[in-house]
Structure 1
Amino acid sequence: MESKRQQKFAGVIQKDLAEIFQREGMNFLPNTLVTITKVRITPDLAIARVFLSFFNNANTTLALNTIKAHASEIRYKLGARIKNQARIVPQLEFFLDDTNSYVERMDQIFDKISKEPRQPDTEE
């Protein structure tokens, strides 16, 4: 369970990272929309686990590895934004948020179930 402090700091990190990716994301991944879906902060505020979602990109693993390769540059830009709000700039760990693929898979399963013929209810 995250404390209020962690949640508030995670919100600041998420907002600022979203602005960084919106303004300068094309430098890392051209023609790809990067969305920060969730940020989790450790209790000591030293590590931020950032969950990303990619749109208009077929190879999400390659996109995630590209972001990880630029992690120090992204952290530097984040530090410039939050320098007056935090004592330390957290280390950034990036993860793929697979919620969208999970939702799509569940939709396919439900569609398949709804297309199967219904068996008549038998009451005795």
Structure 2
Amino acid sequence: MAKNRFSDSSGPSQRQLRVGELMRRALSDLLNRGDIHDPDLNRLSLTVGEVRVSPDLRIATIFVLPLGGGNRDEAIAGLKRNKGEIRRLLSKEVILKNAPELRFMIDDTFDRMDHTRALFERDDVRRDLDGEGPQDPDTPEDT
């Protein structure tokens, strides 16, 4: 029996990962070279953290973060304003049957890592991780 292409699998396919990484590198190069004709966007230093591509490769969600974490709204507005030009330049760099629709989002990976790190630093969490927390009454204690 053939595999259903549109079923919810455990994650993205190798093809999606490969195309996403190619797009991430190409977009990073475009932004570093200043190929986009927008002075407001060119003065920002943006990090392209990840590109997630839909299974049919028609939609690419691009996660970006300005250097230092500031000017987030300005960065997203500049990218959305120049979406057509970015799509055209990307289609020249990454050869695909169709140029994907681009969607830009802020990469909050670093914020989530900081939050997780702060949780692990809390005394009650540290106590539980060290095994000094309260015992479950159903589990026998070692004597």
TM-score range, shorter chain: 0.7 to 0.9
2:79 alignment counterpart: 67
What TM-score, normalized by structure 1, do the two folds share? Answer: 0.76
Between structure 1 and structure 2, the one with the greater Rg is: 2
Kindly indicate whether residue 47 of structure 2 is the aligned counterpart of residue 35 of structure 1. Answer: yes
Q: Is the CA contact 1:29–1:63 (under 8 Å) kept in the aligned structure 2?
A: no
Q: Residue in 2 aligned with 1:86? A: 96
Q: Counterpart of 1:104?
A: 114
- For the 8 Å contact 2:61–2:103, the answer to whether it is kept is yes
Larger helix fraction of residues: 1
Q: Distance in 2 between matches of 1:12 and 1:65?
A: 24
Gaps of 5+ in 1: 114-120
Q: CA deviation at 1:15?
A: 1.1
CA distance in 2 between partners of 1:105 and 1:73 (Å): 36
Aligned residue pair count: 117
1:57, CA displacement in angstroms? 5.6
Q: Calculate the TM-score normalised by the size of structure 2.
A: 0.67
Which shifted more, 93-102 or 55-64? 55-64
RMSD (Å) for aligned C-alpha atoms: 2.9
* CA displacement at 1:106 relative to structure 2: 4.4
